[in-house]
Structure 1
Amino acid sequence: MADPERTDPAHTDPRRIDVHQHVIPPDRGRAIAARAAAVRWPAPAWDEQSAIAMMDRRSIATGVLSYAAPLAGPHDVGGARVVARSVNEYTAELVKNRPDRFGHFAVLPLPDVDGALAEAAHALDELHADGVMVLSNAHGRYLGDPAFEPLWAELDARSAVVLVHPTAPPGTPVPEVPPPLADFPYDTTRAALHMTVRGVPRRYPRIKVILPHAGGFLPYAVHRFALAAHLPGGASADDPGGTPEDFVTDLRRFYFDTAFSTGPASLPSLLAFAAPEHILYGSDFPMLPEDWSTGFDTALDEYPHWEPGRLHAVNRGNAELLVPRLAHAIRPSRRAGPTAHGG
């Protein structure tokens, strides 16, 4: 019997919504190139036209942009605030001019909680960002840190979408292995576990947290991690009655994107673990070179065990539920002015 998702046009809308796509403002190109060199990764290049051309080639209707790098040094609070504001205003202008093609997860300058609160309010209220982005650790401080509670409370009150983007963990990287290959998904896993052990997802259930790259190693090892509920000072710290099953339930509150993570072992693990409505398409452009990533698109589309409707949900439907604006994004009939890029 033919798969209705592959034959019925009502189930084959090819225009993906990409929740994991990056922006590199012109004045940040050198910093991003230096960052890539530091982690032994190809230097990414970005501009508005090349991003749209990439999306057209890969049937992506809209890419939700985020800035995926530390904003400043660990002690430069003022510098991080300035860069966050500059990046967010640049990205907001892109979205203003092309709301059909771009969305915006505004970067927050953690571990500066006061600065993050101020930037979240500015981005969500004034710039109309679709959500916010934080790194998996903020100069070594993980996201369950009690100091970050005011930020989680504010984002919960707003029912905000939060992308937790990986960064290098503290310490020495694995020798001869570029950190984005092993250490970044490891740090995503660490961040999610720390948040869950500290009870953040349970206390703030209205926050929708996206974990890139299928959540690192969570789907594969979730039942191993759930044993944290048995440990003194673990998940039971905030809920003395917590069980491993409760811990798994809390981990399933997260959303997961597919960037770099649709291989024949990783995709079945993700589908077996995540809530069906919590899986989202991601490209990781331009941090993941396009000639590397198209194979992951093909693996997603050609996975042989999709249930009816689920591929469409991953490619688009789940993102429409998460960020309803994206379901109705249309191009303005007249451009409001020159793009943020200057064109």
Structure 2
Amino acid sequence: MSKPHRIDTHHHLIPPRYRDYLETRGIQPGGIPLPKWTPAGSLKVMNRLGIRAAVLSVSTPGAWLDEPKLVRGLARELNDYTASVVAENPSRFGFFATLTLPDVDGAIAEAEHAFNNLGADGIVLIANTDGTYLHDPAFRPLLEYLNNRNAVVFVHPGELPAPPVDPIPSFAADFLLDTTRAAAGLVLSGAIEEFSRIRWILAHAGGFLPYVSYRVMLAMLRQEGRLAQAKAMLQRRTEVPKRMELFSRFWFDTALSSSPAAFPALLAVADPSRVLYGSDYPFAPARAIGFLNDVYEEQPLDRQLRRQIDHLNAEALFPRLAA
């Protein structure tokens, strides 16, 4: 069994005024009603589930509510509130700051404030904003800034730029595709290589990315006009590891993804030193997290890898939260 020293890198908060903003507009992240959340509630669940520390983040839609005049003030309010929660329990909480995309200038200014004045541990970016994904040239100045800061960036899915399909809640499938699109875009655009100092964390084990990684690799060859030579290239001993290395540059959290179906696919692609424990609380209720923790404990992992996933890998990213 794992020791109760987990560091949860996928742990949400819902500030009271933010709840009001979302409920007034009828927004249900992931297609489900907003769950209850308080700092005390998080700590209670963390103690129960063996989570020593959690890195807090605001889930989709972040600060962008289709109201450009609101976005900068809302992002500042969310980050100041989150920083106050961390200040109350600095050994138990860290946080990813919320930015203002698609307002790039505002995003850079808010990241500067969050890092320099609030002590943010990283940044959370929604995979797409109004259909624009993170690799888009419009967001390039922000990626340059985050690269220069050696930032940890948590990529969280949002609503797909497409209508939902009844009765499927978006958290069940669309969220996973959104993360996959964002990650594939970073790979195929070359951004993962150009901005190599950004530490990208992909939510929910990268969505479908591990499963479709070879398809994305073929898309790389097609981009290069080398698809006709793909079979010969991929038979070479060095070509497949070279291409797959791009996917292993990501960090992946295990939130809602520790099943015997998903976990082997993740470990086939990920660098073992870049797999992080995640819960998705409170959007995943405590009982569901407990069930998935039990499933995770049943995975045939050696002791060292389990310790890495539980806390050692996160401690390398967030030394402040090390025991």
Same fold (TM over 0.5): yes
CA contact (8 A) 1:159 1:206 kept: yes
Deviation string for 1:69-110 (max 9, x for gaps)? 222333x22311111100000011111121111111001111
Where does 1:1-343 land on structure 2 (aligned, <5 Å)?
A: 6=1, 13-33=3-23, 34-36=26-28, 39-70=30-61, 71-74=63-66, 76-232=67-223, 245-303=241-299, 305-328=300-323
Query: Quick check: 1:235–1:247 contact (8 Å CA) kept in 2?
Result: no
Q: Is the 8 A contact 2:279 2:289 kept in 1?
A: yes
Q: Percent identity of the aligned residues?
A: 41
**Superposition deviation, residue 175 in structure 1:** 2.9
- Cα RMSD after superposing both structures: 2.1
**TM-score where L is the length of structure 1:** 0.86
* Shift in alpha-carbon separation, 1:234–1:121, aligned structure 2, 3 A: farther
Where does the alignment leave 5 or more consecutive residues of structure 1 unmatched? 1-5, 7-11, 329-343
- Pairwise CA distance, 1:165: 0.5
Letter in 2 for 1:35: I
Matched positions, count: 311
1:233 deviation in Å? 6.9
**Distance (Å, rounded) in 2 between the aligned partners of 1:213 and 1:187:** 11
User: How far has the Cα of 1:177 moved from its partner?
Assistant: 0.5
Shift of 1:43: 2.5
- The CA deviation at 1:312 is 0.8
2:252, 2:275 within 8 Å by CA — same for their partners in 1? yes
Distance (Å, rounded) in 2 between the aligned partners of 1:259 and 1:21 = 9
Q: Deviations over 1:126-170 (max 9, x none)?
A: 100000001000111001001111111111111110001001110
Pick closer, same or farther for the CA change 1:15–1:232 going to 2, 3 Å: closer
Q: Shift of residue 32 of structure 1? A: 4.2
Quote how far apart the aligned CAs of 1:250 are.
1.4
Contact 2:247 2:269 in 1 (8 A): no
Q: Does structure 1 retain, via aligned residues, the 8 Å contact 2:101–2:129?
A: yes
In the alignment, is the contact (CA less than 8 A) between 1:174 and 1:183 conserved in 2?
Answer: no
TM-score normalised according to structure 2 size? 0.91
CA distance in 1, matches of 2:90, 2:242: 39
Tell me, yes or no, if the aligned pair for 1:19 and 1:64 is still in contact at 8 Å.
yes
Structure 2 stretches lacking a partner, 5+ long = 228-232
What amino acid is the match of 2:110? E
